[in-house]
Structure 1
Amino acid sequence: MATPSNSSIAPVSEFLLVCFPNYQSWQHWLSLPLSLLFLLAMGANGTLLITIWLEASLHEPMYYLLSLLSLLDIVLCLTVIPKVLSIFWFDSRSIHFSACFLQMFIMNSFLTMESCTFMVMAYDRYVAICRPLRYPSIITNRFVAQAAVFVVARNAIFSLPVPILSARLRYCDKNIIKNCICTNLSVSKLSCDDITFNRLYQFVAGWTLLGSDLILIILSYFFILKAVLRVKAEGAAAKALSTCGSHFILILFFSTVLLVLVITNIARKRIPPDVPILLNILHHLIPPALNPIVYGVRTKEIKQGIKKLLRKL
């Protein structure tokens, strides 16, 4: 039997996002907590950025790293959540071909940028606690600038092939994405072509970037823990453990994206498809909402800066 020629296949110009295909009836209820988390994330990160920008005493390397983390969180939230909420509220499911792959690139690159920023911040804490006398000479403004360039360049370069590989595939007639966002696997499996290489590249790149960051983070906090337990000053160890412990727990929560990668690549036929969809959405909301609170508001200097800002208002 003759196969149709490429010219007879109508190219796909847009996709339709179908969130939670098995639970469409409760999407409106889900939009309420998502909206509240979105407002919290945007408000907390925006307040943190403005406070660091306006308060001269916060113009130091550690707070510049916090600013970078907040910027990444804001971009991630704005890339994903408004579209998800528009689907829930207005049934606005269509997304243009190019917009879908742009969203894919931003999600892949900025998530790994955030992971890399956590790694740099863990190194900052390691130097501050384990090498306090050398901290001013190691963690400088120049170090932060170089780290920021490294964070952006490394993750943008390694993430760029993901949307390029997906965009180069032929999309014949299927255009319904069973997801709230344009993830690589959700989109590429609609293609008429073989997607083995796409799947393999994302899996290897994700584990290489996120996995290496997580290993370095764990090593940093291991050495921090050793140093803290040797401190004999009353209350110093408990305070350091409390601060670093909350940071480490938050980083582990962020690393659930690795779990999402495992689920979508290995166990995708043995679990409900709505589970990885929900995890993906929450991963773009909960860490951005918690990061400025755990890293910023709990810091004495930032608390004072926020109070000064509120007095001016």
Structure 2
Amino acid sequence: MPYSNESHFHPATFILLGIPDLENIYSWLSVPFFIMYVMAVLGNGAMLLIIQTEQRLHTPMYYFLAMLAFTDLVLSSCIMPKLLSIFWFSSTVIYFEACLFQMFMIHTFTSVESGVLLAMAFDRYVAICNPLRYALVLTNPIILWMGIANVIRGVIIVIPCPGMASRLPYCVTNVIHHSYCDHMAVVKLACVDTTVNSVYGLTVVLLVIVFDVIFISVSYAMILRTVYNLPSKAARSKAINTCTAHICIILLFYTLGLFSFLTHRVGHSVAPYVHILLANYYLLVPPVMNPIVYGIKTKEIREKAFKVFYKKV
């Protein structure tokens, strides 16, 4: 196996195994994955276009939705081109630096997506609990800085992962038993103790997910208290209806993430292909479903989409 650095003994390339034990059905597997990827690109691209071109959607909620759509485009595009090339062309080789970059992008934008969901929960909290201060609290500069801070958070906490992984010696094998360069899937190939890497990776997950989930839960607890005190059933129904799409994508994102995390950490009896499929679904299903959920639940987006489609027809 070739090495490109004598001090760290890292290979020039890695081999992405894909989805173990399912090699015989790659051609069949590629069909749903390709369809989902196309749906993710078209759905989130359309969402960005609609929000950009429709003046009445230039409000905080839709700015956050645009951030979510952009993040979903990046996340799905981080994994799917390489996965489809494995399915269709058996292109399993990935350069060492490209693998670390993919690792950085996947974990950074997973953190960013979680942060966007937190920002959207804050948006709903202000809109329902402090509606008179909504325009004062969520100004365009504040929204911009929230987006920048979210990206900075993701970069700062994730960048040590590829940094530490790049300094490990890989002197046994360069075959990654995964379809993309997941942090722990790469680190497992090192021929030294990787406890520090494992602990740091777990710490990142806990810091991001636990922190965001706690504050999202607190936001919705306060929202529910405010909604419960509204005078009429119609007002309560209207307030809850503005949150249903966000609640759906929160449950989708964190539930898939929880299943993926548990099968990786404690599900040692689970077949490897189940874990890898779940890991791919975790990064691909939310980008597919988010535009659909918001398209169905948001009247303004639905109306604009119908107008665009009607003109083209």
TM-score (normalised: structure 1): 0.92
Indicate the residue corresponding to 1:266 in structure 2.
266
In 2, distance between residues paired with 1:232 and 1:220?
Answer: 21
Paired letter, 1:88: F
Paired letter, 1:132: P
Paired letter, 1:197: V
In 2, distance between residues paired with 1:201 and 1:194?
Answer: 13
Indicate the residue corresponding to 2:146 in structure 1.
147
Indicate the residue corresponding to 1:238 in structure 2.
237
Paired letter, 2:167: R
In 1, distance between residues paired with 2:242 and 2:8?
Answer: 58
Contact (CA 8 Å) 1:12, 1:173: kept in 2 or not? no
Contact (CA 8 Å) 2:260, 2:278: kept in 1 or not? yes
In 2, distance between residues paired with 1:247 and 1:71?
Answer: 16
CA deviations 1:221-241 (Å, max 9, x no partner) are 121122222223343323433
Report the CA distance between 1:311 and its aligned residue. Answer: 4.8
Is the counterpart of residue 192 in structure 1 residue 191 in structure 2? yes
Secondary structure of residue in 2 paired with 1:16: strand
CA deviations 1:55-109 (Å, max 9, x no partner) are 2222222211111111100011111111111111111111111111100000100
Indicate the residue corresponding to 2:19 in structure 1.
20
Gaps of 5+ in 1: 1-5
In 1, distance between residues paired with 2:295 and 2:131?
Answer: 21
Paired letter, 1:195: T
When residues 50 and 249 of structure 1 are mapped into structure 2, their CA distance, relative to the original with a 3 A threshold, is closer
Contact (CA 8 Å) 1:9, 1:172: kept in 2 or not? no
In 2, distance between residues paired with 1:122 and 1:113?
Answer: 14
Paired letter, 1:151: N
Q: 231-240 or 72-81, which moves further after superposition?
A: 231-240
Contact (CA 8 Å) 1:20, 1:180: kept in 2 or not? yes
In 2, distance between residues paired with 1:236 and 1:41?
Answer: 34
In 1, distance between residues paired with 2:9 and 2:150?
Answer: 40
In 2, distance between residues paired with 1:92 and 1:45?
Answer: 27
Is the counterpart of residue 128 in structure 1 residue 135 in structure 2? no
Contact (CA 8 Å) 1:203, 1:261: kept in 2 or not? no
Equivalent residue runs for 1:24-173 within 5 Å = 24-173=23-172
Secondary structure of residue in 1 paired with 2:109: helix
In 2, distance between residues paired with 1:195 and 1:171?
Answer: 12
Secondary structure of residue in 1 paired with 2:94: strand
Report the CA distance between 1:7 and its aligned residue. Answer: 5.5
Secondary structure of residue in 1 paired with 2:61: helix
When residues 105 and 10 of structure 1 are mapped into structure 2, their CA distance, relative to the original with a 3 A threshold, is closer
Aligned length: 307
Secondary structure of residue in 1 paired with 2:163: helix
In 1, distance between residues paired with 2:203 and 2:61?
Answer: 31
In 2, distance between residues paired with 1:310 and 1:155?
Answer: 36
In 1, distance between residues paired with 2:20 and 2:299?
Answer: 46
Paired letter, 2:260: V
Q: 233-242 or 299-308, which moves further after superposition?
A: 233-242
CA deviations 1:180-229 (Å, max 9, x no partner) are 01001111111112111111000011111111101111111121122222
Secondary structure of residue in 1 paired with 2:216: helix
In 2, distance between residues paired with 1:308 and 1:219?
Answer: 38
Paired letter, 2:89: F
TM-score (normalised: structure 2): 0.92
Paired letter, 1:265: R
Report the CA distance between 1:243 and its aligned residue. Answer: 4.3
Percent identity of paired positions between Structure 1 and Structure 2: 38
Q: 250-259 or 199-208, which moves further after superposition?
A: 250-259
Secondary structure of residue in 2 paired with 1:95: strand
